[in-house]
Amino acid sequence: MTRRTKLWLLFVVIWLAVLSIRIPVWSQPSIYETIREAHRLLEQIDEPSHQTIASIAQARLDRPRAIDVTHYHLQIELTPDPPRLAGAVTIEGRATAPVEAIQIDAYENLIIDAVRSDGIALPFQRTADRIILGLPHALSTGESFTITVDYHGVPVTSGVLGGGMLVARHGAVYVMANLSEPYAAPTWWPCIDHPSDKATIDIEAVVPRAYVVASNGVLERVEPVGNRKTRYVWREEYPIATYLVSVAATNYVQFEESYIALDGRTTMPLVYYVYPEHLAAAQQKFPVTRSAMEIFAPLFGEYPFLAEKYGMVEFPWGGAMEHQTMTSMGDRIVHLGDLTVQDFISHELAHQWWGDWVTLATWHDIWLNEGFATYSEVLFFERFYGWDPGELMDRSYDDHRAFGRMGGTVYAEDLENPFDDHGAIYTKGAWVLHMLRHILGEREFFAMLKDYGRRFAFANASTEDFQRVCEDHYGAPMDWFFQQWIFAPGRPIYHVEWEVMPTETSDDYTVLLSVEQVQPQRIPGRPEELERVYIMPIDITLHYDDGSSETRVIWNDARRQEFTFVVPRPPTRIGFDEGHWVLKEVR
Q: Return the residues of window 190-209 that contact Zn ion according to CB under 5 A.
A: none
Report, in Å, the least distance between residue 350 CB and Zn ion: 8
- 361 sits near Zn ion (criterion: CB under 5 A): no
Report, in Å, the least distance between residue 184 CB and Zn ion: 16
Q: Return the residues of window 230-289 that contact Zn ion according to CB under 5 A.
A: none
Q: Which is nearer to Zn ion, 103 or 376 (CB)?
A: 376
Q: Which is nearer to Zn ion, 369 or 519 (CB)?
A: 369
Report, in Å, the least distance between residue 351 CB and Zn ion: 6
Nearest-angstrom CA–CA distance, 89 and 151: 8
Q: Which is nearer to Zn ion, 325 or 521 (CB)?
A: 325
Q: Which is nearer to Zn ion, 370 or 577 (CB)?
A: 370
Cβ(253)–Cβ(279) below 8 Å: yes
Nearest-angstrom CA–CA distance, 130 and 186: 9
Q: Which is nearer to Zn ion, 83 or 453 (CB)?
A: 453
Piece in contact with Zn ion (CB under 5 A), picked from 43-51, 279-287, 410-418, 449-457: 43-51
Name 175's Cβ contacts closer than 8 Å, sequence gap at least 6. 80, 166, 167, 168, 169, 248, 249, 250, 275, 314, 315, 316, 331
Nearest-angstrom CA–CA distance, 282 and 345: 12
Piece in contact with Zn ion (CB under 5 A), picked from 46-54, 60-68, 230-238, 501-509: 46-54
- Pick from 16, 18, 47: which is nearest to 405 by CA? 47
Name 13's Cβ contacts closer than 8 Å, sequence gap at least 6. none
Report, in Å, the least distance between residue 348 CB and Zn ion: 7
Q: Which is nearer to Zn ion, 77 or 343 (CB)?
A: 343
Piece in contact with Zn ion (CB under 5 A), picked from 45-53, 173-181, 242-250, 270-278: 45-53
Nearest-angstrom CA–CA distance, 480 and 19: 45
Nearest-angstrom CA–CA distance, 47 and 40: 11
- 373 sits near Zn ion (criterion: CB under 5 A): yes
Burial (CB count within 10 angstroms: exposed 0-12, middle 13-18, buried 19+), residue 106? buried
Per-residue HEC secondary structure of 340-395 comes to HHHHHHHHHHHHHHECCCEEECCHHHCHHHHHHHHHHHHHHHHHHHCCCHHHHHHH
Nearest-angstrom CA–CA distance, 255 and 252: 10
Report, in Å, the least distance between residue 366 CB and Zn ion: 9
Q: Which is nearer to Zn ion, 216 or 327 (CB)?
A: 327
Site map (CB under 5 A) of Zn ion, residues 318-357, x = contact: ----------------------------------------
Report, in Å, the least distance between residue 242 CB and Zn ion: 17
Q: Which is nearer to Zn ion, 46 or 343 (CB)?
A: 46
Q: Which is nearer to Zn ion, 43 or 204 (CB)?
A: 43
Report, in Å, the least distance between residue 49 CB and Zn ion: 13
Closest residue to Zn ion using C-beta atoms: 373
Piece in contact with Zn ion (CB under 5 A), picked from 44-52, 187-195, 454-462, 540-548: 44-52
Pairing mode of beta strands 320-321, 326-330: antiparallel
Nearest-angstrom CA–CA distance, 404 and 584: 12
Report, in Å, the least distance between residue 368 CB and Zn ion: 11
Report, in Å, the least distance between residue 322 CB and Zn ion: 6
- 293 sits near Zn ion (criterion: CB under 5 A): no
Q: Return the residues of window 468-527 that contact Zn ion according to CB under 5 A.
A: none
- In DSSP terms, 164 is beta-bridged to 179
189-223: b (≥16 Cβ within 10 Å) or e: bbbbbbbbbbbbbbbbbbbbeebbbbbbbbbeeee
Peptide bond into 182 cis (omega under 30): yes
Q: Which is nearer to Zn ion, 183 or 581 (CB)?
A: 183
Cβ(460)–Cβ(361) below 8 Å: yes
Q: Which is nearer to Zn ion, 191 or 373 (CB)?
A: 373
Q: Which is nearer to Zn ion, 308 or 370 (CB)?
A: 370
Report, in Å, the least distance between residue 485 CB and Zn ion: 20
Q: How many CB atoms lie within 10 A of CB 552?
A: 14
The 8-class DSSP code of residue 570 comes to -
Nearest-angstrom CA–CA distance, 183 and 162: 10
Piece in contact with Zn ion (CB under 5 A), picked from 28-36, 242-250, 287-295, 366-374: 366-374
Q: What H or E segment, with its residue span, contains residue 580?
A: none
Q: How many residues bind Zn ion (CB under 5 A)?
A: 3
Piece in contact with Zn ion (CB under 5 A), picked from 329-337, 365-373, 376-384, 495-503: 365-373
Report, in Å, the least distance between residue 46 CB and Zn ion: 5
Q: Which is nearer to Zn ion, 369 or 517 (CB)?
A: 369
Q: Which is nearer to Zn ion, 167 or 373 (CB)?
A: 373
Q: Is the dihedral of CA 470, 476, 477, 478 positive or negative?
A: negative
Report, in Å, the least distance between residue 290 CB and Zn ion: 20
Report, in Å, the least distance between residue 373 CB and Zn ion: 4
SS3 (DSSP) at 112: strand
Piece in contact with Zn ion (CB under 5 A), picked from 175-183, 279-287, 369-377, 382-390: 369-377
Report, in Å, the least distance between residue 74 CB and Zn ion: 24
The 8-class DSSP code of residue 156 comes to -
Piece in contact with Zn ion (CB under 5 A), picked from 304-312, 372-380, 478-486, 532-540: 372-380
SS3 (DSSP) at 261: coil
Piece in contact with Zn ion (CB under 5 A), picked from 368-376, 386-394, 466-474, 553-561: 368-376
Report, in Å, the least distance between residue 157 CB and Zn ion: 22
Nearest-angstrom CA–CA distance, 345 and 481: 31
Opening angle at CA 318, ends 427 and 421, nearest 5: 30
Q: Which is nearer to Zn ion, 380 or 480 (CB)?
A: 380
Residues making contact with Zn ion (CB under 5 A):
46, 370, 373
